[in-house]
Amino acid sequence: MTVSIIVGGFFGDEGKGKIASFLALRDRPSIAVRCGAVNAGHTVVMGDRVYKLRIVPSAFVSKSTRLLIAPGALARLDVLFREMSATETRGRLFIDERTGIIEERHVEEERRSAHLSKKIGSTLQGVGAAMADRVLRRLRLARDFEELRGMLTDVAAEVNEAADRGEVVHVEGTQGTFLSLYHGTYPYVTSRDTTASAFASEVGLGPRKVDHVIVVFKAYVTRVGAGPLPGELSDDEAERMGLVEYATVTGRRRRVAPFNMELARRAIMLNSATQIAITRIDALFPEARNVREWSKLPLEARRWIERIESELRVPVTIVSTGEDVEVAIDRRRELGVEP
């Protein structure tokens, strides 16, 4: 059994929340770990309920899964407690004692920065400022907060022991490959590396422990904030194509571009992807909406996906065809990929 890391292949908002929650329901991991910080919003739609998660793992939908927050993550206490109530995960959610805690002054510091707000288009959630404090070794960690007593754990030990026992572990990365501090479109990037190796490191997993790297691509590319977006469509074009989206955390309208094979190829390389998940295929092929079997997808949609597979030489194992957590095609068995 296996350790899988789920990462974004473009600029974030590829639908990692959807894929992580769908896979959690299918695979029932014993542990799911959330990485990254509260600037990244993951949306999980379950029937008529919409969860916009900034720190709780999207795998909360699997009730038997133990939910962890990585030592390399950065949490905010108010966001954490609010989301724990909304998702009713108290008692099965634990935070590493070394997880960094963002405080009000980090948010204030970022709000005062014209560089971050005007030039970079930061989400201004205090993440970069807290990360800077961590690097300067003055950030307070989860173990320093009385409120977290009883929720603290050793994530690296838990995850490695579970993997050694042969249990299924899911690691939820955040944002997207090209927002990476190292591999992205610097300076228009976030304050951490967002590739699979970085998320393994955030958790405390060595590279040899990782079995699957699932790179999530949306059927088109979106970006919020400043920075290059090759092939960017005008607002009118995006509207005509039905590709209007708003950001989960900031509510800003997302910039849109067509699917970009060159970026995708580079994302596959940077993450050493073993699987691809495609989301929002129904935006390009409306008849694909809510389809749950490969053979029932419109022929053009199947051709489009097969072209991605042959160009990138990585199997497209999951195809999301609607928002709901249960609505996707799981091709793993047919493709001979063991979950």
Which residues are paired to 34 by β-bridges?
69, 172
Nearest residue to ligand IMP by CB is 225
Partner from Mg ion, ligand IMP, none binding residue 120, C-beta < 5-8 Å depending on class: ligand IMP
Amino acid at 31: I
Nearest to 264 by CA among 316, 318, 334: 316
Q: Which is nearer to ligand IMP, 125 or 320 (CB)?
A: 125
Q: Taking the complex as a whole, how short is the minimal distance between the CB of residue 127 and ligand IMP, in angstroms? A: 5
Neighbouring C-beta atoms of residue 113, cutoff 10 Å:
16
Q: How many CB atoms lie within 10 A of CB 139?
A: 19
Residues of this chain that interact with ligand IMP (CB under 6 A) are: 12-13, 39-41, 116, 120-123, 125, 127-128, 174-175, 179, 188, 190-191, 224-226
30 contact choice in ligand IMP, Mg ion, none (CB below 5 to 8 Å, kind-dependent): none
Residue 235's H or E segment, with its range, is helix 235-240
- Residue 102 or 142 having the CB closest to ligand IMP: 102
Out of 41, 71, 176, 315, which residue is the one contacting Mg ion (CB under 5 A)? 41
Catalytic choice (13, 27, 133, 282): 13
CA distance 16 to 179: 15
How far, in Å, CA of 175 to CA of 8, rounded? Answer: 6
Least Å distance, CB 306 to ligand IMP, is 29
Given its phi and psi angles, is residue 257 left (phi above 0), alpha (psi -120 to 50 degrees) or beta?
A: beta
Tokens of 314: 């990585």
Please name the amino acid found at residue 116.
Answer: L
Does the footprint of Mg ion cover residue 13 (CB under 5 A)? Answer: yes
Task: Verify whether residue 106 is a known catalytic residue.
Answer: no
Q: Which of 27, 42, 133, 212 is catalytic?
A: 42
| Pattern 247-266, Mg ion, x by CB under 5 A | -x------------------
Q: Are 240 and 181 in contact (CB under 8 A)?
A: no
CA distance 146 to 104: 17
Provide, rounded to whole angstroms, the least separation between the CB of residue 246 and ligand IMP: 12
* Identity of the residue, 154 or 323, whose beta carbon is nearer to ligand IMP in the bound complex: 323
The answer to whether 66 and 44 have CB atoms below 8 angstroms apart is no
Q: Are 84 and 20 in contact (CB under 8 A)?
A: no
- E strand or H helix that includes residue 105: helix 104-111
**195 or 248: CB nearest Mg ion:** 248
> Which CB, 267 or 301, lies closer to ligand IMP?
267
**Who's near 263: CB < 8 A, 6+ residues apart?**
9, 10, 178, 221, 230
Q: How far is the CB of 154 from ligand IMP (least distance, A)?
A: 27
Smallest distance from the beta carbon of 13 to Mg ion, in angstroms? Answer: 4
Q: Which C-beta is closer to Mg ion: that of 8 or that of 315?
A: 8
# binding residues, Mg ion (CB under 5 A): 3
Q: Rounded to the nearest whole angstrom, what is the least distance from the CB of residue 20 to Mg ion in the complex?
A: 12
Clarify whether 212 is annotated catalytic.
Answer: no
245 near Mg ion (CB under 5 A): no
> Hey, which residues are catalytic here?
13, 42
Binding-site ranges for Mg ion (CB under 5 A): 13, 41, 248
